[in-house]
């Protein structure tokens, strides 16, 4: 199955207030494994960059001023996304900004049914714990030492590692998860009725007889320096 892990950087928190998308990074997974295929782009937001947003991702308006508009690369982005499920951390935020840019470009919105949110997954797996990307990377032992500031492609790559771990880790590639699901049937299975053509057999005794216990004691007594005496 093909899935896309993605992250965005923006000028603020709400596209309805004029905030814009300035960066998107996407990582392709096939059967929960990274393929090495990515999509990454910066966009000119056609507005200023608030200092608070720049402090988070480090993208200045001077850096973004010569980057293409979202509409310029929209076809390339949509082709990369295809019809795959889309995984993001706090996915409603990222979907909101992408769909706002798609609307500006005269394109249809991404179907919210394609959305998979790793924050919601983390709340179910670890209720009461911290659910930030940094906190979850620490919990799952994912190296984020190179993450000085937020970056869409870097964060998407970290999220891909996290998503793989949160959905069963590398065992999925070995097919263990599928076999585990099939162990417990969803419907109770009645035992097979006895067959009248089979002869009845008395249950076999499983306790050692007195003679067998005596032979065992004789054998143990003849052992030369048995290991268990070292712990006495």
Give residue-wise pLDDT tens across range 163-217. 999 998 865 444 444 433 333 334 444 555 666 667 777 776 667 778 888 888 8
Task: Kindly state whether residue 228 falls inside one of the protein's structural domains.
Answer: no
| Percentage of residues in the chain having pLDDT higher than 90 | 68
Contact 15, 97 (CB under 8 A): yes
The conformational region for residue 58 under phi > 0 = left, psi -120 to 50 = alpha, else beta, is left
pLDDT at 231 over 80: no
Q: Biggest alpha carbon distance in the chain?
A: 94
pLDDT at 88 over 90: yes
Task: Kindly state whether residue 121 falls inside one of the protein's structural domains.
Answer: yes
Task: Kindly state whether residue 229 falls inside one of the protein's structural domains.
Answer: no
Q: What is the pLDDT of residues 38-63, one digit of tens each?
A: 999 999 999 999 999 999 999 999 99
Look up the domain containing 83 and give its range.
2-169
Residue 187: predicted pLDDT: 43
Task: Kindly state whether residue 198 falls inside one of the protein's structural domains.
Answer: no
Instruction: Say how many domains are in the chain.
Output: 1
- Round the average pLDDT of the chain to a whole number and report it: 87
Task: Kindly state whether residue 120 falls inside one of the protein's structural domains.
Answer: yes
Instruction: Write out the DSSP string of 62-102.
Output: HHHTTSPPHHHHHHHHHHHHTT--EEETTHHHHHHHHHHHH
What CATH number is attached to the domain comprising 39? 3.30.420.10
Residue 224: predicted pLDDT: 81
pLDDT at 129 over 90: yes
Task: Kindly state whether residue 212 falls inside one of the protein's structural domains.
Answer: no
Mean pLDDT of 224-229: 72
Task: Kindly state whether residue 159 falls inside one of the protein's structural domains.
Answer: yes
Task: Kindly state whether residue 45 falls inside one of the protein's structural domains.
Answer: yes
**So which residues are the catalytic ones?**
150
Mean pLDDT of 67-93: 97
Sign, CA dihedral 120-26-24-63, equals: positive
């Amino acid at each position: 199955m093909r899935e896309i892990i993605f992250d965005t950087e923006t000028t603020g928190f709400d596209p309805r207030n004029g905030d814009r998308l300035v960066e998107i990074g996407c990582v392709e997974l096939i059967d929960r494994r990274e393929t090495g295929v990515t999509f990454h782009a910066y966009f000119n937001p056609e507005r200023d960059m608030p200092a608070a947003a720049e402090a988070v991702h480090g993208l200045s308006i001077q850096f973004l001023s010569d980057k293409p508009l979202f509409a310029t690369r929209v076809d390339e982005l949509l082709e990369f996304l295809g019809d795959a499920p889309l995984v993001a951390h706090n996915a409603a935020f990222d979907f909101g900004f992408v769909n706002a840019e798609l609307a500006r470009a005269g394109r249809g919105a991404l179907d919210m049914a394609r959305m998979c949110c790793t924050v919601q997954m983390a709340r179910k797996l670890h209720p009461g714990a911290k659910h930030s990307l940094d906190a979850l990377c620490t919990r799952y032992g994912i190296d984020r030492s190179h993450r000085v500031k937020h970056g869409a492609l870097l964060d998407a790559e970290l999220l891909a590692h996290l998503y793989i771990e949160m959905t069963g880790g590398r065992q999925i590639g070995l097919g263990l998860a599928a076999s585990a699901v099939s162990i417990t049937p969803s419907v109770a299975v009645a035992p097979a009725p006895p067959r009248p053509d089979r002869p009845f057999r008395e249950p076999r005794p499983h306790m050692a007889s007195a003679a067998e216990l005596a032979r065992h004691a004789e054998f143990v007594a003849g052992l030369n320096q048995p290991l268990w005496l070292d712990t006495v």
